[in-house]
Structure 1
Amino acid sequence: MSIDALAKNKKSWDEVAPRFFGRNPLPEYGPLAPREDELNLLGDVADAKVLDIGCGSGHSLQYMDKRGAAELWGVDLSKTQIETAKGLLADSNAPVHLFESPMEQNPGLPEEYFDIVYSIYALGWTTDLDKTLANVAKYLKKGGLFIFSWEHPLHSRASFENGALHFNKSYHEEGPYDHEAWHAPAIMQQYKVSTYLNTLISHGFCIERVIEEVSLTEQDRERHANRWYSCEKAMMLPTTLIVKSRKM
């Protein structure tokens, strides 16, 4: 686990958090990706104890509250995000427990306790994928669900120019890289699809579903015009990887 990367990412997210208030939360899994309404990966969450890894502004936990979850737990590296989530969830029906912490560390979460752990467009920020998924396995009850979404590993490897894809980096290359999408310096991680799946398997998860489809409705096209996740590029390459797994 890189302490330097965690410190840099924490500072970066504390600065940019307002830009991502309510950005692509459940029932969305990511930009130009199918929604939970269509996929039904979570099933009935009524009375479930749920944990959000990288909970951000708290909107996905708010969605879980509206669907009847029994307990709402969240972890996020950013103090700004946690304070925002506390405000958003102040009037929730279910009790709320939020922790300002890296996902690579257990800040005091109970083990073998949760029915559902999920992470919506946050897992790629981990500095140690193996440690993070080991933690998820410890948090979950036997038979519990872990669902995550993240930018598809192919998406950032290619650019779309003049109607064609141009690969800028080898898909096989993994590890940290400088994130340049905003001015505050940050470190992200690049992994292959197989690395995500095999790491889950190594920690006792059974992979139930892998989704790479895109959603290109008129609403999606309007929302993502002239943005990083363009519809034109999505017609040739998936934007989002969604994985549903279960602790055996």
Structure 2
Amino acid sequence: MEVNPGIPNSYFDIVYSIYALGWTVDLQQTLSNIYSYLKPGGIFIFSWEHPLHDRLSYEQSSFNFSKSYNIEGPEYNEAWHHNVIIYHRKLSTYINTLVEAGFIIEKVIDEVALPDTPSENPSKWYSTQKAQLVPATFIIKASKKF
């Protein structure tokens, strides 16, 4: 994502990313690339796991904050049960980096739609019980200036 593989500038009307943008190491460069790929007025929509979600863990029959939301940087992600490193960023970092790249933020969504029945196992990474406390994901719609 950090390196342009030859995509022309001002080519796309819309770019979307579903649970991929958070894998980038250099968010600023990635968003600058995406901005350059869009036509003026083009739309960028992306989703990623909400930065509060992985801060909360289920231990001894209750949810606790196990990591600081405010500390950003690469870290082991427990959801994968392997040695997977993901770069933790605050929601404000995504928003501010979009603005710095030239995007106009049109909408931010982090509402939660919960099923009627709770998860059988509240310790699952994506459980209803956890989603009652913090959103599992966020979606941002941004546009390139005309």
Say yes or no: TM over 0.5. Answer: yes
Q: Find the aligned partners of 1:239 and 1:178 in 2 and give their Cα distance.
A: 18
**How many residue pairs were aligned?**
143
Q: Which residue of 2 aligns with 1:146?
A: 44
Q: Find the aligned partners of 1:241 and 1:110 in 2 and give their Cα distance.
A: 29
Q: Is residue 2:122 matched to residue 1:122?
A: no
Code of the residue aligned with 2:63 in structure 1: it is L
Instruction: Kindly indicate which of the two structures has a greater share of residues assigned to helix.
Output: 1
Q: Which residue of 1 aligns with 2:142?
A: 245
Q: Find the aligned partners of 1:184 and 1:159 in 2 and give their Cα distance.
A: 17
Give secondary structure in 1 for the equivalent of 2:80. coil
Q: Which residue of 1 aligns with 2:105?
A: 207
Report the Cα offset of residue 236 of structure 1. 1.1
Q: What does the per-residue CA deviation read over 1:118-141, in whole Å, with 9 as the maximum and x for residues that have no partner?
A: 110111110110110010000001
Q: Find the aligned partners of 2:131 and 2:61 in 1 and give their Cα distance.
A: 12
Of 154-163 and 131-140, more deviation after overlay is shown by 154-163
Give secondary structure in 1 for the equivalent of 2:99. helix
TM-score, with length taken from structure 2 = 0.89
Instruction: Kindly indicate which of the two structures has a greater share of residues assigned to strand.
Output: 2
Q: Find the aligned partners of 1:192 and 1:166 in 2 and give their Cα distance.
A: 18
- Structure 1, unmatched stretches of 5+, are 1-102
Contact in 1 for aligned 2:115/2:128 (Cα 8 Å)? no
Higher relative contact order (CA 8 A, sep 6+): 2
Which residue, 181, 184, 188 being the options, matches 2:79? 181
Q: Is residue 2:5 matched to residue 1:107?
A: yes
Q: Find the aligned partners of 1:148 and 1:186 in 2 and give their Cα distance.
A: 21
Give secondary structure in 2 for the equivalent of 1:181. helix
Give secondary structure in 2 for the equivalent of 1:138. helix
Give % identity.
57
Give secondary structure in 1 for the equivalent of 2:79. coil
TM-score, with length taken from structure 1 = 0.54
Q: Is residue 2:57 matched to residue 1:159?
A: yes
